[in-house]
Amino acid sequence: MTDTRVDGRVLRGERTRRAIIERAMDIASVDGLDGLSIGRLATDLDVSKSGVITHFGSKEELQLATVRAAVEVFTQHVVRPALEAPAGMQRLWRLCELWLDYERGIFPGGCFFANVAAEFDARPGRVRDAIAQSQLDFRALFERLIARAAEVGDLPADVDAAQLTFELKALGTSANGEFLLYDEPAAYDRARAAMLARLRGLATDPSLLPLS
């Protein structure tokens, strides 16, 4: 009886924590991590301020938890499904496509990371470090998939993985920014077309890639 009640409380606490984080990710994708306030979250979710503070302590902890949760969302929608494609060019291209889909489809303010990276890039501290790490992990994933594509012979053995990663990431990141700033869905098409042209130009077997 007591155990059940305790479990219920733990579960409700976990649900509240989850609801706060979901709302925090949506807010941060539009207004940035500075847009998160304990008061705003409490009002939006109809919980007490002390309820929010119990879960996260400080604003910085809340910001860090929000970044971690966004990494999980990204892993679930982009990284894991990309890794299900056959190793090599197909996996690399799947990553590009899923990333563009995520930018368009998941958060109200477009890519969570693009927004908070620009917000914190010049502001040293734990939040910047967490954001930078998430971006370094994504970059490392791109580089690994490019190296693997070279290993299986889908890309030339001497491909510069760091340079190609920079270029593909630049295109995808800019699509997000231009779409949001100008309400221009064409930015995603431009990014996709440029990524595809770049990869087709390098591929040993372009037929592994779509024609357009």
* Residues engaged in binding a copy of itself (CB under 8 A): 29-32, 34, 108-110, 114-115, 117-119, 121-123, 128, 131-132, 135-136, 162-163, 166-167, 169-171, 173-175, 177-178, 180-182, 187, 190-191, 193-194
Q: In which residue are the tokens 């690399």 written?
A: 92
Q: How far apart are CB 106 and a copy of itself at their closest, in Å?
A: 13
Residue 59 or 128: which CB sits closer to a copy of itself? 128
Tokens of 28: 């941060």
Interatomic CA distance for residues 35 and 31, integer angstroms: 5
Q: How far apart, in whole angstroms, are the C-alpha atoms of residue 96 and residue 104?
A: 13
Shortest distance, position 13 Cβ to a copy of itself, whole Å: 31
Fill in the amino acid letter for 64. Answer: L
| Least distance in angstroms from the C-beta of 60 to a copy of itself | 16
- CA torsion, points 129, 131, 137, 138, in degrees to nearest 10? -160
Specify the 3-state DSSP secondary structure of 192.
helix
Among residues 43 and 163, whose Cβ is nearest to a copy of itself?
163
Cβ–Cβ under 8 Å, residues 105 and 74: no
In the complex, the smallest distance separating the C-beta of residue 148 from a copy of itself, rounded to whole angstroms, is: 21
